[in-house]
Amino acid sequence: MKRVLIFALLSLFVLSSLFAVQTIKLVAWAVGPDDPSINRKLNLERAAEMLNTVLEAAGADIRVEVEAYFDSTDWSSYKQRALIAFQTKDQQLDIITSGHDDLGMWAKAGYVRPIDEYVEKYWDLGFKDFFPALWEATKFNGKIYAIPQDTEARPLWVRKDKLKEMGYTEEEIADMMNKFATGEYTLYDLVKLGQEAIKAGVVKWGLWHRPKMGVDYFQLFKSFEVPIYDPEAGKLVFDTEGAKKVFQFIYDLTNTYKVTPKNLIGTEWNNIHKSFAGPQGEVLALMGGTWNRAEWINMFGYSEEEIDNLLTFTLTPSAYKGVPGNTLSHPVVYMVTSKSKYPELATLLLLFASDPYLNAKHAVESGHLAIRYEELSVPMYAADAFSKKAAAMLLPQASFVPNNDRFNEYNRIIFDTMTGLESGKMTPDFAVKFAAKRLKQQLKDDVIIK
């Protein structure tokens, strides 16, 4: 394998030996925004060291220097800065890290470029080891625009200690989580459980979700079996009849069931984490992510044993009895920008950054999941009980939001509607009409209104 790689590098830099050693600088941006995801940046720097070692062994008179930045503010601010960088003529940016759902919009705008030829060229050197499903999250209009960096899933986190205060045993809690996952218990059973916990005085709230725009709440569309995308037509979908059911549930969470506060949207993330995962624990259940576990260990100083005694998790339940629960996976990907003068070198760097040991370190330390088969056998990953349990329970029921260039606009309208519903300013009937009208006005023929 090493010999094949050296020959590939010699072919790539065949002319370099005519000149003195040249150092090529690649600029890369990475994002958490959670602090434990710092390896998205560090792995690029480690990859440069690895690549330079091989370049030297290959006799190539070229080296790579990576100038990497890590953003830990928030997704919205990071993406705004990325757009400015894309549009600033003299600003170098070779590699950009983001969620796979940004790929379609950035590819359509010409900010990132397809890299199929390079993935194919280096396929046997490591890219073939990636889980096949993840490559689907890197495509737009049939072309590969990205390299998977990590993946995750979005479990329903539950305060196990609070359930025990209500009288449930360890065995009963495990059985309950399984019933939510298999469909014996539904979303409405989760609401009842939250109401019981509030009535028992062990928590103030029954169910919380993310306070800012994201993708987690599309799990509720999945719970009600409401499609948001037509893959054959390649268009986003707004099913008015199905959306009415989802919107009714969202409205009821705050206005009828009263298990979610009306002003949850807009709450600072630190307050979300403290209210749910802090030592006191004021919330029974949270629609979160696998990475939250690492965040909470860092935030509150929990040991592995302590956090496992506090929390358990399951799938987001279906609205219908007998239907298994669901989760969304939102792979973060590395993209090569269109302004990069060295797209092949950048792609090769990403191959090294995807080394199974480097990615296993990232996965375990940040609460993410493996992206390639060889990573599963890395001792650090293989010994991590949480990673194994999360992958086994969540990934078989995982789906992705679409890589559609208009998805972010669609998402914004759904989130604005959700905000109106939870605050009580919109009724479900009005919300359906509001969302349908805005979607049609803004997306025109790029959305199917049913």
pLDDT for 20 equals 77
- Closest to 317 in 3D by CA, of 192, 233, 143, 202: 192
What DSSP state is assigned to residue 257?
S
What distance lies between CA 196 and its chain's CA centroid? Answer: 32
What does DSSP say about strands 22-31 and 95-99: parallel, antiparallel, or unpaired? parallel
In the numeric block, the tokens 């390079």 are attached to 118
Q: pLDDT tens across 193-217, in order?
A: 999 999 999 999 999 999 999 999 9
Q: pLDDT tens across 267-308, in order?
A: 999 999 999 999 999 999 999 999 999 999 999 999 999 999
Give one word for 411, left, alpha or beta, with left for phi > 0 and alpha for psi -120 to 50: alpha
Instruction: Specify whether 209 is located in the same domain as 288.
Output: yes
Instruction: Specify whether 193 is located in the same domain as 250.
Output: yes
Instruction: Specify whether 111 is located in the same domain as 168.
Output: no
pLDDT for 141 equals 92
Q: Is residue 3 part of a domain?
A: no
Instruction: Specify whether 179 is located in the same domain as 272.
Output: yes
Backbone φ, ψ for residue 21 (5° rounding): -55, 130
Q: Is residue 9 part of a domain?
A: no
Q: Is residue 230 part of a domain?
A: yes
Instruction: Specify whether 58 is located in the same domain as 123.
Output: yes
Residue 188 has pLDDT above 90, yes or no: yes
In the numeric block, the tokens 């759902």 are attached to 101
CATH code assigned at 130 = 3.40.190.10
For residue 15, name the pLDDT band (cuts at 50, 70, 90). Answer: very low
Residue 17 has pLDDT above 60, yes or no: no
Q: pLDDT tens across 145-175, in order?
A: 999 999 999 999 999 999 999 999 999 999 9
Rg (CA), the chain: 23
**Domains identified in the chain, total number:** 2
Q: Is residue 303 part of a domain?
A: yes
Integer Cα distance of 127 and 121 in angstroms: 10
Q: pLDDT tens across 393-411, in order?
A: 998 899 999 999 999 999 9
What is the arithmetic mean of pLDDT over 117-123? Answer: 96
Instruction: Specify whether 145 is located in the same domain as 261.
Output: no
Per-residue buried b or exposed e for 49-78, using 16+ beta carbons within 10 Å of the residue's own CB: ebbbebbeebebbbbbebebebbeeebeeb
Residue 253 has pLDDT above 80, yes or no: yes
Are 417 and 221 contacting, i.e. CB atoms less than 8 angstroms apart? no
Q: Is residue 234 part of a domain?
A: yes
Instruction: Specify whether 159 is located in the same domain as 193.
Output: yes
For residue 9, name the pLDDT band (cuts at 50, 70, 90). Answer: low
Backbone φ, ψ for residue 25 (5° rounding): -90, 130
Pick the residue with more confidence: 7 or 415?
A: 415
- Find the domain containing 174 and state its range: 153-329+404-449
Integer Cα distance of 144 and 137 in angstroms: 9
Integer Cα distance of 345 and 9 in angstroms: 10
pLDDT for 58 equals 85
pLDDT for 16 equals 47
Instruction: Specify whether 181 is located in the same domain as 119.
Output: no
Instruction: Specify whether 371 is located in the same domain as 340.
Output: yes
Q: Is residue 265 part of a domain?
A: yes
Are 205 and 407 contacting, i.e. CB atoms less than 8 angstroms apart? no
Instruction: Specify whether 217 is located in the same domain as 290.
Output: yes
Instruction: Specify whether 254 is located in the same domain as 318.
Output: yes
- Closest to 372 in 3D by CA, of 389, 386, 353: 353
What is the arithmetic mean of pLDDT over 322-330? Answer: 96
Q: Which of 362, 379, 400 is the last residue of a domain?
A: 400
Q: Is residue 5 part of a domain?
A: no
Q: Is residue 388 part of a domain?
A: yes
pLDDT for 6 equals 52
Q: What percentage of the chain exceeds 70 in pLDDT?
A: 96
What DSSP state is assigned to residue 328?
E
Instruction: Specify whether 160 is located in the same domain as 36.
Output: no
What is the arithmetic mean of pLDDT over 47-74? Answer: 93
For residue 12, name the pLDDT band (cuts at 50, 70, 90). Answer: low
Contacts of 72 (CB under 8 A, 6+ apart): 31, 32, 33, 34, 35
pLDDT for 59 equals 86
Q: At what angle do helices 269-277 and 292-300 cross, to 10 degrees?
A: 80
